[in-house]
Amino acid sequence: MNQAVRLPLSNDKGIQGGLIGQILLAKQKIAIFDLPRIAECQLEYGLRFGEAALKLGLLTSQDIQTALSEQFDFPVLAEAGRIHRQVVCAYDPYSPQAEAVRSARTQLLLHWLDGNRKLVAIVPADDDTQHGELFSANLAVTLAQASLQVLVIDANLRQPTQHALFDVAQGQGLADCLAARARVPEVVRAVEGLDNLHLLQGGTIAPNPQELLSKPLFAEILQQASAHYDAVIVVSAALSQPSDMHLVATRARGAILVATRNHTRLKPLLGAKAKLQSSGVHLIGVVLND
């Protein structure tokens, strides 16, 4: 286990130094009369507090993970959360899938997000945009877990999905702002249960996404978002909608392509890379999904 806090038996002054234990007591995951049993198990087997409680069957791994997230201000959702299960970084940040996304986050922090460059366009390489949409959501969660203020902008105005992934009620969003039917501060929503994470959803499905994304107002919205957030994840339409994709990526100035192993064709991927780079877009990297 990852926790390093031991909870000794209470004395006449109460529990000493057992923050994990106090959190679990407050959440009623354990009872005060469980503490002697846990302490005895710790001493007998040389275990940490959480390991001993697990061995005794008093806690689950999820219980301890949730307590750790609270102790270290690291938002992790409970099992019963309504956010899509495939946003795995929100539920199981130590899984292999989440570790892969965290690795991408590290590269992004090292090579792009420097305090001045805050915009990142996520471009799915395939018509099935699911992998790109899920990567966008998971990347945003890991950035928020790193204590960055994060805004996800769903700029796939043809098929917006981020509101469903984050369990945000469908409503007005980017399309409505670009059509001058709403203002950004009025429609940005906090993602419940995940501190530091906000969403500007796609909004009303419009018949003219290219025209909306072509407006100077789109660039203004991105500029304003950069002034208020540490990282802005802009979810693009796929390569099969080259005009939409190009408008989003050129406004963001930096892009990550999301490809699928044994599915994404190399020729269109290389063509998109060349087109983006010729427009001054920095290709931050390519993510390959299994």
Structure confidence by residue, pLDDT tens digits, 200-209: 999 999 899 9
- pLDDT averaged over the chain? 85
Task: Please give the model's pTM, rounded to 2 decimal places.
Answer: 0.76
Distance from C-alpha of 210 to C-alpha of 246, rounded to nearest angstrom: 10
Distance from C-alpha of 91 to C-alpha of 279, rounded to nearest angstrom: 38
Residue 271: give its domain's CATH number.
3.40.50.300
Residues 135 and 263 in one domain: yes
Residues 29 and 99 in one domain: no
The domain of 28 spans 19-71
With a cut of 80, say whether residue 82 has pLDDT above it.
no
In this predicted model, what pLDDT tens digit does every residue of 21-42 receive, in sequence order?
Answer: 777 887 788 888 888 888 888 8
With a cut of 50, say whether residue 16 has pLDDT above it.
no
Q: Which residues of 154-179 are buried (b: 16+ CB within 10 A; e: fewer)?
A: bbbbbebbbbebbebeeebbbbbbbb
Residue 9 domain-assigned (yes or no): no
219 torsion bin: left (phi>0), alpha (psi -120 to 50), beta (else): alpha
Q: Where are any strands of DSSP class E within 149-249?
A: 150-154, 189-190, 197-200, 231-235
Residues 171 and 198 in one domain: yes
Count up the domains in the chain and report the number.
2
The residue-averaged pLDDT of 161-183 equals 96
Q: Report the pLDDT value the prediction gives residue 17, as an integer from 0 to 100.
A: 29
Q: Report the pLDDT value the prediction gives residue 268, as an integer from 0 to 100.
A: 78
Residues 63 and 164 in one domain: no
Residues 232 and 142 in one domain: yes
With a cut of 80, say whether residue 220 has pLDDT above it.
yes
Residues 283 and 185 in one domain: yes
Classify the C-alpha dihedral 193-195-197-198 as positive or negative.
positive
Residues 168 and 38 in one domain: no
